[in-house]
Amino acid sequence: MSIGAGSNRPPSSLPTGSRNQGARDPDSSDSDSGSSDKEAKGSRSLKTSKDKLFAALLCSLKCEKPRPEAPKLKTYKGDPEDLERFIQSLENVWAIEKRKYKDNLIKICFTTNLLERPISSKHRNPVQWYEAYHPKIDLAAARRLPGGQRAVIDPIWSTWDVFVAALRSSFGTKVGKEQAVTQWLNLQHTNSIDEYLDSLTNLMWQTGYPGDIAKDKLVRELNREVGLAWA
């Protein structure tokens, strides 16, 4: 049997395509490795950033100085001798917790929660007093009153100064009212009409004078040009 030229042929081998499929491309391996390294570094960087952010937040919470809180206040039960103590303690709260008590209406609502019925019948009842005052600052309450379907709220009643003046007028001592009467008699319009009206309104409550007397004083005390406009 003759082997012939076939004996010079190289041993059979896999096709070129098969050999390529079985071999790893060095460049491809390097690329995959580089991509994995980048992902790992990115993951570690993100974790580090989160850790730093959390640590900074935790430090800010621990290092932040606690805001002062006002002490719990005693209630007011209508005793004239205790009124100034009550008002001063409230104004201390406004000073200590300025952010919390910026709004006048919030101050009034907070105050009314501290009003209690008196133990002694010789003192006026502050709870009943506020029930009469409340429709002046609450439109729904004003319109529930008989004949109040078309009631309109004057915003001046919702200011802290007017509320306190009304409280002093109703519960203040005799000496306090006498001082208010003296201030009323001495009050004159000089420059600012707004300041004059504010003072007049406050004194009206402290003295207990009705609106007609206040209007009469307003017309008499204002300078002639402005007074005629109010007549």
Segments making up each domain of the chain, as ranges = 28-63, 80-230
Q: Are 24 and 33 in contact (CB under 8 A)?
A: no
Considering all CA atoms of the chain, what is the largest pairwise distance in Å, rounded to the nearest integer?
148
**29 to each of 18, 61, 84, 175, how far by Cα in Å?**
19, 48, 86, 98
Distance CA 78, CA 116 (A): 8
Q: Is the dihedral of CA 81, 208, 196, 160 positive or negative?
A: positive
Distance CA 203, CA 152 (A): 23
Distance CA 150, CA 174 (A): 37
Tell me how crowded residue 177 is: count the other CB atoms within 10 A of its CB: 16
Nearby residues of 123 by Cβ (< 8 Å), 6 or more positions away: 77, 78, 79, 80
Distance CA 185, CA 226 (A): 20
Quote the Cα angle for 34-36-41, to 5°.
Answer: 95
* Each residue's pLDDT expressed in tens, for the chain with a length of 231 residues: 545 554 555 555 545 544 555 555 555 555 555 566 666 565 666 667 667 777 766 666 555 555 667 788 999 999 998 999 999 999 999 999 988 999 999 999 999 999 999 988 888 899 999 999 999 999 999 999 998 899 999 999 999 999 998 998 889 876 567 777 788 888 887 777 778 887 887 777 677 677 777 788 877 777 655 545 555
